[in-house]
Amino acid sequence: MTRPIKKRLVRFDPRVTYFKPRAVPLSVLEEVDLGMDELEALRLCELKKLEQVEAAKRMKISQSTLQRILSSAHQKITEALIKGKAIRISKINDKK
């Protein structure tokens, strides 16, 4: 039995929930799901330029968990950019 996911503190609610390549209808695109915790980790570390230890404290998670979340977010964004996929920002429990 796996451990339950610990609740993560997210203090950001984006107004935009999709990013997609220009001039390509969303209906024909594959998409990647970026979770709110991944977006918050990116916001704190990349936009606010916080060290991982401080960002982890703000999210109430360990630094190693933050690192795993960041790695996942970077991989998803890179895949979307390289392969021309849409990025869907979803709530943690809002997976398709």
94 touches 22 (CB < 8 A): no
pLDDT at 10: 79
Is 83 contained in some domain? yes
Query: In terms of residue numbers, what domain contains 77?
Result: 36-90
| C-alpha–C-alpha distance, residues 80 and 87, integer Å | 7
Is 95 contained in some domain? no
Is 65 contained in some domain? yes
Provide the pLDDT confidence category of residue 13 given band limits of 50, 70 and 90: confident
Tell me the per-residue pLDDT of 26-82, one tens digit each, with 9 for 90 and over: 999 999 999 999 999 999 999 999 999 999 999 999 999 999 999 999 999 999 999
Report the domain count for the chain.
1
> Cα-flanking dihedrals φ and ψ of residue 31, to 5°?
-135, 160
Is 18 contained in some domain? no
